[in-house]
Amino acid sequence: MSGRLAGKIAIVTGGTSGIGEATVRLFVAEGARVVIVARRSGPGEKLVADLGSDRAKFLAGDVAVEATSTNAIELAERWGGLDILVNNAAMDWTSPILETSEADVRRVLDTNFIGSFLMLREAGREMLERRRGSIINVTSRNASVGVPTMGLYAAAKGALLALTRAAAVEWAPDGVRVNAVAPGLTQTPLIRSWIAEQKDPAGFEKEVAATIPQGRMAEPIDIAGAILFLASDESLHITGVSLAVDGGYTAA
């Protein structure tokens, strides 16, 4: 199969909806075979049925559980070895700092940082042996700017950004690249639900879009396209960067 990722084997966490699903579909369209990792079996099995079992495999698991990373690597190994990891699994969280409990902190860090760390560490072991590979951590605009009520979420994504840079420098001599994609507000099911909960959803959406220089929220495919670039050989001399895909929000 031809394409920008022809012959490549990838793992995408949180791969059954939103940015993750768009990335899985784009990777398969560009010739990759993909191990999809997510908590819910139903959407994962449906996606595999849609894409074909020769192009996609599904692993039900929580990335914060260490065995999930080793099981995902094992599935990739059955296809011949891991080339790409996309650390996309995450949970959203909003709360004022003074109303954020210790349990909240541990819950968000488990999914948004520790889970990504475990996947990155295990993927790195395999990639370093082969002296090749690309890891893309999906962070957030909130890793770089302060937004009220987003402190805990931002801290977890900021930690992931710091890990991205450290791993990039540590592994660069051995051919493994580590980069981040930092989305702004994106038209995912989660964001659509958030907008729908407002008193005036249409008006609220216009207000939100007005804060973005391009005047619109991203579509999942906008983020997936940036991930594809960093996964492909087109970016072979790029490592340790954070690519903002936010319509200019963090530049303003």
Instruction: List, as one string, the DSSP characters of 172-185.
Output: GGGTEEEEEEEE-S
The residues, ordered by sequence, that sit 6+ positions from 209 with a Cβ below 8 Å of its Cβ are 215, 216, 217
Q: Say if residues 190 and 184 touch (Cβ distance below 8 Å).
A: no
How far apart CA 80 and CA 44 sit, in angstroms, is 22
Asked if residue 168 lies in contact with residue 178, where contact means CB atoms within 8 angstroms, the answer is yes
Which residue numbers are catalytic? 153
Q: What is the DSSP letter of 187?
A: -
What amino acid occupies position 109? Answer: L
Q: Using alpha carbons, select from 15, 24, 236 the residue that is nearest to residue 131.
A: 236
